[in-house]
């Protein structure tokens, strides 16, 4: 060994050191391979690590952050309804962006209302309710809690997986169509609807309905959405209102 040099000095890096930083999970007795792979993916997901550092309840928070960075619908003073809000990451983002806590001096103070079938741990600045949004009168309850209409209705909901891609696609389309019906009742004219959908082809009718009811419709896959996932998000802006929408069939003015 040449004096003054450390072991390995002068050698070209093989890159193994970098690859070895990846956490690998050994299969445990009784654990399914799919569970092991999911755990390994979570441990190596930079968005999961970032969510922990920044205090968000899940990596999904970055999806709504990225969508809002591009389309700017969570503005100070906005009244937001988050359907299927558990575990609460989207509500956390909305609270900060609409200034629900009044921390941005000189800015309007917004409202964040989260609803879910299950009880959700409290979030500072958000009003959370346990509610089945599919139940009769749910839209009236939402308006009552808000004290009026909403500027944004958003949803990161997904139906329970059946293991069959086609069935899961149909289920989530039906779920989002139900969320849309509520949005039509509670949105202010000019409002925004944001929801997760799964690519698959059965959403064509839903897309046509969105284009009749909103002035601009975009379909986007934010960077935080995993590349191997079929999910995408629809951002529909400029709600035409309950009366004008009926006259907008065939309107060429809305974009995709």
> Which tens digits make up the pLDDT trace of 118-156?
999 999 999 999 999 999 999 999 999 999 999 999 999
Instruction: Measure Cα distances from 97 to 32, 43, 57, 92, 125 in Å.
Output: 40, 28, 16, 9, 11
pLDDT band at 3 (very low <50, low <70, confident <90, very high): very low
Identify the pLDDT of residue 84. Answer: 95
pLDDT band at 1 (very low <50, low <70, confident <90, very high): very low
Q: Which of 221-225, 231-235, 241-245 has the lowest mean pLDDT?
A: 241-245
Domain segments of the chain: what residues? 60-247
Global confidence as pTM: 0.77
Catalytic-residue membership of 196: yes
Strand 111-116, strand 79-83: pairing: parallel
Q: Which CATH architecture has domain 60-247?
A: 3-Layer(aba) Sandwich (3.40)
Residue 132 marked in a binding site: yes
Residue 241 marked in a binding site: no
Q: Which of 70, 104, 196, 221 is catalytic?
A: 196
Which pLDDT tens digit goes with each residue over 6-25?
A: 344 443 333 333 344 444 44
pLDDT band at 168 (very low <50, low <70, confident <90, very high): confident
Residue 90 marked in a binding site: yes
């Amino acid at each position: 060994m040449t004096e003054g040099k450390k072991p390995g000095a002068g050698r070209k890096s093989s890159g193994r050191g970098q690859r070895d930083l990846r956490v690998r999970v050994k299969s445990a007795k009784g654990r399914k391979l799919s569970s092991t792979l999911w755990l390994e993916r979570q441990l190596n997901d930079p968005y999961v690590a970032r969510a922990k550092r920044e205090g968000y309840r899940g990596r999904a928070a970055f999806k709504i952050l990225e969508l809002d960075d591009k389309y700017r619908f969570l503005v100070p003073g906005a009244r937001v309804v988050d359907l299927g809000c558990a575990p609460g990451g989207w509500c956390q983002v909305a609270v900060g962006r609409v200034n629900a806590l009044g921390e941005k001096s000189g800015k309007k103070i917004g409202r964040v209302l989260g609803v879910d079938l299950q009880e959700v741990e409290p979030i500072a600045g958000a009003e959370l309710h346990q509610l089945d949004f599919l139940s009769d009168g749910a839209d009236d309850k939402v308006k009552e809690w808000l004290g009026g209409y909403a500027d944004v209705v958003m949803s990161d909901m997904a139906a329970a997986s059946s293991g069959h891609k086609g069935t899961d696609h149909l289920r989530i389309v039906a779920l989002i169509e139900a969320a849309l019906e509520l949005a039509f009742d509670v949105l202010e004219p000019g409002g925004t609807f944001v929801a997760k959908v799964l690519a698959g082809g059965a959403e064509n009718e839903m897309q046509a309905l969105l284009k009749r009811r909103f002035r601009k419709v975009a379909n986007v896959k934010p960077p935080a959405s995993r590349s191997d996932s079929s999910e995408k998000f629809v951002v529909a802006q400029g709600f035409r209102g309950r009366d004008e929408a009926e006259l907008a069939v065939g309107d060429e003015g809305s974009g995709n």
